[in-house]
A = this chain, B = another copy of it.
Amino acid sequence: MKLYEKLADDMTEAVRRGVFAAGERIPSVRQASQQHGVSIKTVLHAYALLESRGIVETRPQSGYFVRDAAARALAPNASPSGPDLGRQPGRDTPPVAAEVDVSRLVLSTLRSIRAHDAVPFGSPYPDPSLFPWRRINQYANAIARRQASWNLIDDLPPGNPELIRQIARRYAENGMPVDPDEIVITLGATEAINLSLQAVAKPGDTVAVESPTYYAMLHAIERLGMRAIEVATHPVHGIDIDALARVIATQEIAACMVMPNFQNPLGFQMPDARKQQLVELLAAHEIPAIENDVYQELYFGDARPSTLKTFDRKGLVLHCASFSKSLTASYRIGWALPGRYRAHVEKLKFLNTLTTPSVPQVAVADYLRHDGYDRHLRHVRKVYRQQASIMTALVQRFFPVGTRVSAPQGGYVLWVELPASVDSMRLYRAALARSITVGPGMMFSTRNDFRHFIRLNYSYPWTAQTEAALKTLGELVTQMA
């Protein structure tokens, strides 16, 4: 073990033992270097590691402090708690706006998948081997060959016109006519969501999110120094509109971020009537809605579901999507339909990353125009639907009594409620030791809720190895229950 790792572990242990309490300042780099007789550089490494582990945080010009969450998470008996799959209306605790910091947990989960080359039940991404990446690369190569050279002035925001046309065409074909002039190409849905939120709210504002919510929403809130207020979300109907109305009645809400189609992690498809209700409630209060629709093409039903945008009359819905979950993750092509905030979002795109690289934009446009995107999608939907039912059946077989499983209507993740006594962080670590990853429930809330929940990815091909891994996981849960 490297010296700085040793130091980081000692400090972690000290926090666990309460030597350094939540919010408390730990020794300065200089002090630590003297106390432990190591170099400044080693201490800086150790502290960086502690920070990336989420144990401490820096406060500019004032040093390193123990994070509350860390102190809680490390406390000997952090009592597991939390509701059923989603929040049942009524059973919900009165919501309170909270500061957000889940990104470290998410990043370390992603890293562990990569580092351990583990069974990727914990991955948020679809199995890329299902994607036509070879075809898309061929288009990219053809472009690179025929194009003398590219510079940053090509395809500036709002983006490549042909790509924008193709995206608009797909919406139209799916019965959702959109104005091409409204589309702004972004670096994946991540940037679309970030820019949309920045366009409608400012640091310190409170943003309503689902509970559980896809952590990408929490990341955007965290990035901009806003506060999240969680609203009960039903595993079938989606966000509890009455609960949201109560929140709006009692406090200032700058925006509402939801995922009405195949929500990550619950997988529901919000019924049209409720989508309309939600849009109307928010419109009545002039509250912008940021809609994450990245799974729009991954439906198990007969047709692409409607969106909040479908029911938007006031340009208050900022609709965000990408090709990362259905065509190519590595090209990072996303877009926003920001309604009345379009000009602002386009400007923020320019300020944030200048432009989305040209070749990927054109390559995806060429693929959409000339190739078999729909054929590809039909195949992917079929595979996901099959693997969803396989994994559901096997979870029910391998996991102990008291386990409950979501019934996704699209996408590629399962939300699993474990017996209340199981700590998904402990499970996560135990599974990782066996080269299996899971998505710990704590990633999906700013509170300590969903501690006994996990998210499982079923997009990867079902093999004897994956089946064995799921069995192992079931055994670990049974031991911990």
Q: Which residues of A contact B (CB under 8 A)?
A: 29, 41, 44-45, 47-48, 51-52, 58, 60-61, 103-104, 107, 110-111, 113-114, 123, 125, 128-129, 131, 133-134, 137, 140-141, 144-145, 148-154, 156-157, 179, 181, 187-188, 190-191, 194, 199-203, 219-220, 222-223, 225, 286, 288, 315, 324, 329-332, 340-344, 346-348, 350-354, 357-360
A194, A332, A346, A347 interface centre (most CB from chain B within 10 Å): A347
A391 to chain B, nearest CB (A): 19
A48 contact set on B, CB distance < 8 A: 181, 342-343
Assess the A202–B225 pair: CB atoms within 8 A: yes
Answer whether A137 and B128 are a contact pair too, CB < 8 Å, given A107-B156, A110-B156: no
- How far is it, in angstroms, between the C-alpha of A288 and the C-alpha of B58 when the chains are bound? 14
Other-chain residue from B104, B114, B188, B340 in contact with A154 (beta carbon distance below 8 A): B114
- How far is it, in angstroms, between the C-alpha of A440 and the C-alpha of B238 when the chains are bound? 52
A116 to chain B, nearest CB (A): 11
Please give me the 4 A-B residue pairs with the lowest Cβ-Cβ distance, nearest first.
Answer: A150-B330, A223-B351, A51-B343, A128-B149
Assess the A153–B123 pair: CB atoms within 8 A: yes
A206 to chain B, nearest CB (A): 14
A104 to chain B, nearest CB (A): 7
Other-chain residue from B58, B129, B188 in contact with A343 (beta carbon distance below 8 A): B58
Answer whether A357 and B360 are a contact pair too, CB < 8 Å, given A152-B330, A153-B113, A341-B58: yes
Assess the B156–A188 pair: CB atoms within 8 A: no
- How far is it, in angstroms, between the C-alpha of A179 and the C-alpha of B354 when the chains are bound? 28
- How far is it, in angstroms, between the C-alpha of A340 and the C-alpha of B428 when the chains are bound? 31
A58 contact set on B, CB distance < 8 A: 340-341, 343-344
Assess the B341–A358 pair: CB atoms within 8 A: no
Give A216's nearest chain B residue, CB to CB: B354
A148 to chain B, nearest CB (A): 7
Assess the B107–A131 pair: CB atoms within 8 A: no
- How far is it, in angstroms, between the C-alpha of A323 and the C-alpha of B102 when the chains are bound? 32
A194, A354, A357 interface centre (most CB from chain B within 10 Å): A354
